[in-house]
Structure 1
Amino acid sequence: MVTISRVRTGDVIDRRYRLEDELGSGAGGVVWSAYDTKLHRTVALKRAHGVPSASGFGREARNAARLHHPHVISVFDTVDPDWLVMEYLPSRGLDRIVAAGPLPAGRVARIGMQIAAGLTAAHARGVVHRDVKPGNILVGEGDLAKLTDFGISVWREATLTEDGRISGTAAYMAPEVARGQAATAASDVFSLGATLFAAVEGTPPFGTGAPEAVLARARRGEIPPMRHAGPLAPLLGEMLAVRPGQRPAAEQVRSRLAEIAGPWRPPEVPPSPSRRFTPWWAVAAAVVVVTAAVFTWSVLATGPAPEPSTVDVIGDPTTADPCALAGQHALRPFGTTSLNPVYGNFDRCDVLIDVGAGDPLDVEFELAAASVPGAVRPGQFPVERHPLSDDACDRRIAVSTGYDVWITAKMDNPPRDLCAVADTATNAALIRLRQGPLPRRAPFAPRSLATTDACGLLDGPALARLPGVDAIHPEIGFGGWDCTWHSTIDHTSVRILFDHSQPMSADDGTPTRVAGRDAFVKADDDQDHSCTAKVVQREFPDQNGDPLDEIMKVIVAGDGTGARFCPMARDFAAAAAAKLP
């Protein structure tokens, strides 16, 4: 028998994901929280028990990758090849919540309406979950609920698993599925009804005990009377109908649960945080139950701290000045410092430290969307510390208004302790944050890309070239300066982001012209399976009078070689460039 070696906290998967804590183990595998050292965020990693089969693990990846919905856990990547990478949601499984006692009917309606919305999206794409149950529903802050674990979900044509066994959890299984018939959207509705029954009544409709006995009751459709369901009882009775044709569709369930929930609405779900490009070609992951948020917080500033601010310290993200956080004076003990506001994108400001060893030590101060939205109380600025990795040391300051401040000290073969530099920089940033709102930066030049919404540069007709594109729900980066659209039928994506660059040349790609502007197109086949078109928006002098380019990057990525995507990247770049100021 083939075995998989044991993993431990601190192990690095795929030279990128550092394991932090084991969150739990289920039938499908073991789930860890991990730090993504490339994108600087916390993710969840799932590893199958034993050796994952190409069919089973691959099916989980394919099914989940087709779904993009606020109430289905987001999909990121698959690596190594037996690890799945997904969204990390601070939450508890509904099964653990219900273990403390039945829930009020109103709260059950709030949770159920969200899961019904996720099922509606899945069913519209022909995906049947087949294992809806309390353990596969995550409930986060504000009762935000998401459906997880599409590991045994199938297309409608499928019936049983490859070895002929019935898949699913007997206590929540529709009678027809318990009898060996094909799973359908109607059986998902039944399982959701059984889940809501358990949440409001305190026990699943087919009871507990030996799996064989529970399965027998499921086959017969024996459901006890409801005693605590109140306004949910009529709808649950329809969802738990023995005959599939008598059950309402998932969208009808969502609508009726919303009526019971009243004016309450789910917390707004922000775009998935991403500080760097995650190529969608790699997306083949599934969703799993993540039961708790795990952070390593510390307060770095010493001595008496000013009174914490309870106001919005970031304000309008397009005008907040990241250079106000850059503690240039505090960093002078490490070497001669200089401030550079155009070393990266508009959301960043850098302090360069001359340490007498060639290239300077670079300390980045970057504003970003919150990695864990809603996890910070007003006026608090907790710090998440990460160990040294790849000659870089990261600190994240969480801000209660939905933003993070990322501080990164980096240098190849540094002569200084990078984490000591990062801690000093973080101390300075904390002091500034506690003083109140950041000052506004100087107005941008009239033709600057900073005045442009990246998501507005490609419209429906232009995006039509991306097969199955979800044009309605792009991933929006900080300040609207970064936007990514995904295909819903394969792994292709197109991303637009703005940046600064040294004057470009043939080293940046094949020179061309798009919409009257200089552009350079280059395939990257080494890792990203992508092609990037860089379009020059304007030239300007930096603070030393040296020339710089303000550029728009258009990145198309997917399965296959990067060169395959270059014609598409050029066409998207031409369409977007035509709308630039």
Structure 2
Amino acid sequence: MDPGYLVAGRYRLEEELGQGGMGAVWRAVDLELGREVALKRAFGGSVRREAKVGAGLMHPNVVVVFDAVTDGDAQWLVTEYVHATSLDRIIETEGPLSEERALKIGGQLAAALAAIHERGIVHRDIKPANVLVTSDDVAKLTDLGIARWTEITQSGGAQLTGTLGYVAPEVANGGEATAASDMFALGATLYAAVEGHSPWGDGADGPFSQIQRAGKGTPIPHQRAKEIAPLLESLMERDPARRPTAAELTQHGDIPRLQGIRRRKRLRVRRSAVVAGVAVLVAGAVLATWSLLPDRSVPEASKPQVIGLGSDPAALDPCAFISVNAMLPYGTPFIDPEVMNFNGCVVTTELGDGSGQVQVRLELANRDPYPSREIVEGQMGEMERPEVKDRECPRIVSLPDTHRLIATGHNNDRAEKAPICLYAEAVLNAAIAMINKGQLPLRTWKWPAKSLATVDACSLLDAAAVTKALGAPDDQPRREFGGWECAWEGQGNKNEINVSYSREWPIKTDEDLAGTITTIGGRTAAVLPESDNKAVCKIELAHRQYKPRLPPLSGTPPLRDEVVNIQLIDRAATSSAATCARARDAAETIVGSLAKIS
């Protein structure tokens, strides 16, 4: 899109204000009414959801939603345009706010949340980036893109929503996002305004150290907060039931006044008594009268616990790490356990806007043998975000035990504009939240006796076969996760051969296979040379055909093939035919090895 483009015949784009994983925001002019508006082009069903949630929510501290329009295949949300700066930008450029200013902004946000919660809506993503502040410190809450009515939230199952630096402990631990979770996020936002960083840290030691601290409810002790400290402690109570509501923070008059309230269990406190010892913003001064709140020391931020995949990672069920709820905001998800290697699982989602399907593959993996950054045992690694390539977006994190989680987003032809990286991160975040809670789901079934899952891939090629394929191998083979993949390298890194397993549609009837269907040692096989690279040849060798334990994805074949994948790379190859001939020799050896096993 370019400036001057007319959206839906009415809204002229003037200036792009920003882009993110959820879409782009433009300043525009409503030609029919002659006013400035903001237009948000979003992916998935978020525009319709945000319009529905924001419809009729008229409050001076909430950005008003005017309309939702369609222009071609794009959906746009039309909102009030606010001449303002986001709170996170203010913190970044001006530094931490004074307590007085933070209280003024916080009071307005509490009033906005009171209006939102009164309608039975949970915002679910309160953070400085979603707070707009005008030059005269009028605050407006924006971005209802992941907000839900409480009855929807409660019936939808646990889901890690919101931004890691501001997420409530119960949400970090897989619980429901509620109005009390919004109040925690309000406290975390005010904490960041005064301290200059989130209560869970800035993510410098890895983003998932934040979620670990959040899950334990141990914020970093505040350094600057003084008069506002009891309010922060009250809002950021680990127990949601002890946090004040937005309505309790906005009593007495039209101007919201922040009140330091801590709810006590098994103790009735009359409203008049609650309102009694409070700190309010009066005539620009902060009155620190916190007699209602007993002193409390803030626990030290604990060192993130060493977590990982346990003592027997191959016994884990990768599909159980996928939260269907991570993809529910975007469409209808389906988990298919009968694809990929045995260390992976796929969730396929039919997007809610009808634009097509997206997939996210989740894999449990060993330590990266060729890491792009230092791996420190005992420390959670930062999320790695490689560039999108061939319509695939990988997101990777190294766990403290050096195992890795890899989530890869992929879109089909019709969903080419879908934010696949966003989906990959949603699935990865949910898996991390589960591991953070110490939940390591084991498989509840045994592999069939003849399954490749019971066979060490490194045992399928003997020394003679490896030497024939590579010449002299450089070192011992590299055994990957579960023994379900094995790699040998030739001397000088000139060539290599990789043997791995996967579960595929039956090779004989798979029309998507572009290579030659043949037989090797009496087994069905597909020979797949790379058309533009004579150095690479892959062979898919069928081992056994079976019926999946669970119903497969609608529209896919009812049977699956367990497949051995043989990939040979010879960087000195003279032709694809020569490369494939050596790969075929290796496949012949593997057929013989499988005959002995089965």
TM-score tier (shorter): 0.3 to 0.5
TM-score (norm 1): 0.45
Which structure has the greater CA radius of gyration?
A: 2
Higher relative contact order (CA 8 A, sep 6+): 1
